[in-house]
């Protein structure tokens, strides 16, 4: 029984620490179902520089999930541990465990930093920059395709390089 409880505690701590947004949905080569089979304006640009950067993204959703999950797990674990004594102790332990679990889950950060790049490019003789979520190895100096949304002014410069496969 003690081994099972220990495994559950470690699993929950691992889950809570893993509740972090990755920013993957913001990468230029990630699309939603609304993007599929739809026409987008594409321009070619010349990448001049690729610089490493960090992008701060919202982690509220992961924080809420961690808080709820840890609260429920804490309540169940507390009740299970308390049930060894009696039902009154089980109820109090469940409430205490739920509270402690929710507090632990709420410690997940509201915002997280993910890897990104600052791309400097030339378009129609003018030089611009665009921050993108992604890895430096996905881009190289030279021609790249840029999907541009006129209404939001969003630029999605598509990777023009492949990262090495690490085995």
Long-range contacts of 140-145 (CB under 8 A, 24+ apart): 140/47, 140/50, 141/47, 141/48, 141/49, 141/50, 142/46, 142/47, 143/44, 143/45, 143/46, 143/47, 144/44, 144/45, 144/46, 144/47, 144/119, 145/42, 145/43, 145/44, 145/45
> What domains appear along the chain, each with residue ranges and CATH number?
23-58+110-162 (2.60.510)
Q: Name the band, by pLDDT with cuts 50, 70 and 90, for residue 62.
A: low
pLDDT of residue 143: 97
Higher pLDDT, 65 or 38: 38
HEC letters along 53-117: EEEEEECHHHHHHHHHHHHHHHHHHHHHHHCCCCHHHHHHHHHHHHHHHHHHHCCCCCEEEEEEE
pLDDT greater at residue 138 or residue 20: 138
- How confident is the model over 66-96, as pLDDT tens digits? 666 666 666 666 666 666 666 666 666 666 6
20 pLDDT more than 60: no
pLDDT of residue 116: 92
Mean per-residue pLDDT over the chain, rounded: 75
pLDDT band at 161 (very low <50, low <70, confident <90, very high): very high
């Amino acid at each position: 029984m003690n081994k099972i409880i220990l495994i559950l505690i470690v699993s929950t701590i691992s889950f809570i620490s893993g509740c972090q947004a990755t920013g993957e949905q913001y990468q230029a080569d990630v699309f939603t179902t609304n993007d599929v089979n739809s026409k987008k304006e594409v321009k070619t640009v010349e990448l001049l520089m690729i610089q490493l950067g960090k992008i701060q993204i919202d982690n509220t959703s992961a924080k809420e999930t961690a808080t709820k999950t840890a609260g429920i797990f804490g309540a169940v674990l507390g009740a299970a541990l308390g049930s060894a004594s009696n039902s009154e102790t089980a109820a109090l332990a469940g409430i205490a465990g739920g509270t402690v679990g929710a507090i632990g889950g709420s410690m997940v950060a509201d915002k997280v930093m993910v890897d990104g790049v600052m791309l400097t490019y030339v378009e129609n003789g003018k030089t611009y920059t665009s921050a993108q979520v992604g890895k430096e190895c996905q881009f190289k100096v030279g021609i790249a395709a840029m999907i541009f949304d006129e209404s939001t002014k969003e630029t999605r410069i598509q990777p023009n390089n492949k990262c090495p496969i690490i085995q």
